[in-house]
């Protein structure tokens, strides 16, 4: 685990031996805790949420798959596309933005990243977004804090535009990387002398065109020891793109996703260290 407190951000990288740091933030809520996640099964997370609900805190969750809720109000997404965003919004003061589902596998056994943002204005915007979703209304999110932006629409264009503007380097740590246009941009950038490095999960060996990269092209490594579940892109060492969306057509266009762009220099530096750790962990193929 690597953590750092930086200008209102607390950045956490999994796997975690303990979820105490996350729970201490969650249990600071006094009025409301709103959760979005593909799935939730970590018993300590569920117990904490249920405890807060029993104390009168308004605890709600929107998920793709149901879990034993106890006192927690729950809605299950029934759209054909996946409900894939992962957030926890606490009162009007704190938001957790995550590539990890709130499950044992994601938090204890996989490589993921979570950003805890302490900002009243930012958390209020995410809270309103959650309540719109809860009410069944189509409501897009575009919220900003200093050095950070989150959004739910036009993810594909934002990601492709930022990557295409790279001058020096593109570093990617991604579970699923099958998006054809993104893939083409990486090859073009590599031909222009941009240093492109990719580390991905073993899933890609049978599911992604990455497996067909010529050996003389840019370097790709595969993490086999754990699930690499992050959705991380770093452009020129200055901009981090993370969040819930894999670099796939469905991730960028169909699923309910949350994208995060970070430009805060100190936070970006932590993500660079995280990427280098994953790249060193990966194996050539």
pLDDT digits (tens, 9 = 90+) for 200-223: 999 988 888 777 766 567 889 999
The residue with tokens 């990966």 is: 282
When pLDDT is averaged across residues 212-235 and rounded to a whole number, the result is 88
End-to-end CA distance of the chain: 27
Tell me what the pLDDT averaged over the chain comes to. Answer: 92
Q: How far is CA 101 from the centre of its chain?
A: 9
Query: Hey, where are the domains in the chain?
Result: 2-139, 155-281
Let me know the angle formed at the C-alpha of 203 by 202 and 204, rounded to the nearest 5 degrees.
90
The residue with tokens 């595969």 is: 222
pLDDT single digits (tens) 239-255: 999 999 999 999 999 99
Torsion over CA: 190, 193, 194, 196 (sign): positive
When pLDDT is averaged across residues 172-193 and rounded to a whole number, the result is 94
Sorted by sequence, the CB contacts under 8 Å of residue 114 that are 6+ apart come out as: 11, 12, 13, 14, 22, 96, 97, 98, 99, 100
Classify domain 155-281 at the CATH superfamily level: Endonuclease Chain A (3.30.870.10)
Return the closest-CA partner of residue 188 out of 163, 162, 220: 163
Using CA atoms of 168, 249, 79, 116 in order, give the dihedral in degrees to the nearest 10: -10
Question: Looking at the predicted structure, is the pLDDT value of residue 84 above 90?
Answer: yes
Q: Which fold has domain 2-139?
A: Endonuclease; Chain A (3.30.870)
Let me know the angle formed at the C-alpha of 139 by 172 and 241, rounded to the nearest 5 degrees.
15
pLDDT single digits (tens) 30-77: 999 999 999 999 999 999 999 999 999 999 999 999 998 889 999 998
Using CA atoms of 267, 272, 278, 282 in order, give the dihedral in degrees to the nearest 10: 160
Q: Say how far apart CA 75 and CA 37 lie, in whole Å.
A: 11
pLDDT single digits (tens) 87-119: 999 999 999 999 999 999 999 999 999 999 999
């Amino acid at each position: 685990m690597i953590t750092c407190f930086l200008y209102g951000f607390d950045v956490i990288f999994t796997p975690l031996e303990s979820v105490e740091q996350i729970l201490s933030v969650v249990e600071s809520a006094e009025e409301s805790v709103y959760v979005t996640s593909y799935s939730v099964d970590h018993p300590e997370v569920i117990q904490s949420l249920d405890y807060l609900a029993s104390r009168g805190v308004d605890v709600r969750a929107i998920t793709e798959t149901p879990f034993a809720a106890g006192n927690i109000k729950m809605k299950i997404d029934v759209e054909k596309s996946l409900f894939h965003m992962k957030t926890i919004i606490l009162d009007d003061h704190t938001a957790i933005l995550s590539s990890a589902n709130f499950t044992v596998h994601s938090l204890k056994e996989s490589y993921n990243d979570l950003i805890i943002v302490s900002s009243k204005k930012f958390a209020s915007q995410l809270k309103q977004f959650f309540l719109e979703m809860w009410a069944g209304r189509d409501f897009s999110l575009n919220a900003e804090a200093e050095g950070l932006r989150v959004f739910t629409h036009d993810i594909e264009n934002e990601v492709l535009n930022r990557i295409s503007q790279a001058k020096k380097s593109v570093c990617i740590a991604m579970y699923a990387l099958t998006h054809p246009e993104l893939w083409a941009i990486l090859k073009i950038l590599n031909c222009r002398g941009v240093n492109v490095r990719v580390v991905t999960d073993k899933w890609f060996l049978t599911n992604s065109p990455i497996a067909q990269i010529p050996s003389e092209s840019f370097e790709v490594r595969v993490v086999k020891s754990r699930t690499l579940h992050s959705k991380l892109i770093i452009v020129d060492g200055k901009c981090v793109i993370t969040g819930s969306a894999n670099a796939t057509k469905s991730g960028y266009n169909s699923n309910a996703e949350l994208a995060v762009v970070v430009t805060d220099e100190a936070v970006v530096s932590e993500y660079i260290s995280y990427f280098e750790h994953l790249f060193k962990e990966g194996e050539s193929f």
